[in-house]
Amino acid sequence: MAQFLFLKGGFMQSADSSLTKLALGVIEPMGFELVGVEFFQHGAHGATLRVYIDHEQGITLDDCTAVSHQLSGVLDVEDPLPGHYDLEVSSPGIDRPLVFPEHFTRFAGSRVRIRLAEKLDGRRKLEGCLKGYASGVVTLDADDRLWEIPLNSIESARLLADFPASATLD
């Protein structure tokens, strides 16, 4: 049975889900990084499958179109989701989701927001500085304490935009 992580009204597929593995098999050979796969159900008659991709030089509309075309063909053949759904391919954006263990290592030192599947010491939501990942545990500096959070207890995790205090809009 696939494990899901809840995120923004949809379900972010876990790193080991069959849908994530299917997308990974298409996206990585194309030279892109799979950031995450999100599934939204819209009532009884529709759904959206959103796939986040990245590349060290950024993502263009042409990149999203190419991945969408390739992935759509594989999804049509494999048919992993019942019913009608729309496929969207996009960049992860400024509030990039953290899904894979390597995300928690790569973005150590960044500010993150984490939502837990169940309370840990009375808390489900934590916001702080990501310290890293080792042996299935994410370390977070939040509220003057180091939290050791098992990766499998994280429902969602996202980077927080870190704008300089002096930044202003004219």
Given this model, what pLDDT does residue 84 score? 84
More confident residue, 86 or 170: 86
Establish whether domains 4-90 and 101-159 are of one fold: no
Round the average pLDDT of the chain to a whole number and report it.
87
Q: Answer whether 139's CB lies under 8 Å from 129's CB.
A: no
More confident residue, 129 or 168: 129
Give the confidence band of 161 by pLDDT, cuts at 50, 70, 90: confident
Go through the chain and tell me how many residues it has.
170
Write down the residue that tokens 């994410």 correspond to. 138
Given this model, what pLDDT does residue 5 score? 38
Domain map (residue ranges) of the chain: 4-90, 101-159
pLDDT digits (tens, 9 = 90+) for 35-91: 999 888 877 777 889 999 999 999 999 999 999 999 999 999 998 887 888 999 999
Give the confidence band of 8 by pLDDT, cuts at 50, 70, 90: very low
Helices (H) and strands (E) counted in the chain, each on its own, are 3, 10
76 Cα distance to chain centroid: 23
Q: Answer whether 94's CB lies under 8 Å from 161's CB.
A: yes
CATH topology of domain 4-90: GMP Synthetase; Chain A, domain 3 (3.30.300)
Q: Is the pLDDT of residue 129 over 90?
A: yes
Given this model, what pLDDT does residue 170 score? 55
Q: Does domain 101-159 have CATH number 2.30.30.100?
A: yes
Q: What percent of the chain has pLDDT over 90?
A: 64
Give the confidence band of 123 by pLDDT, cuts at 50, 70, 90: very high
Given this model, what pLDDT does residue 169 score? 58
Given this model, what pLDDT does residue 43 score? 72
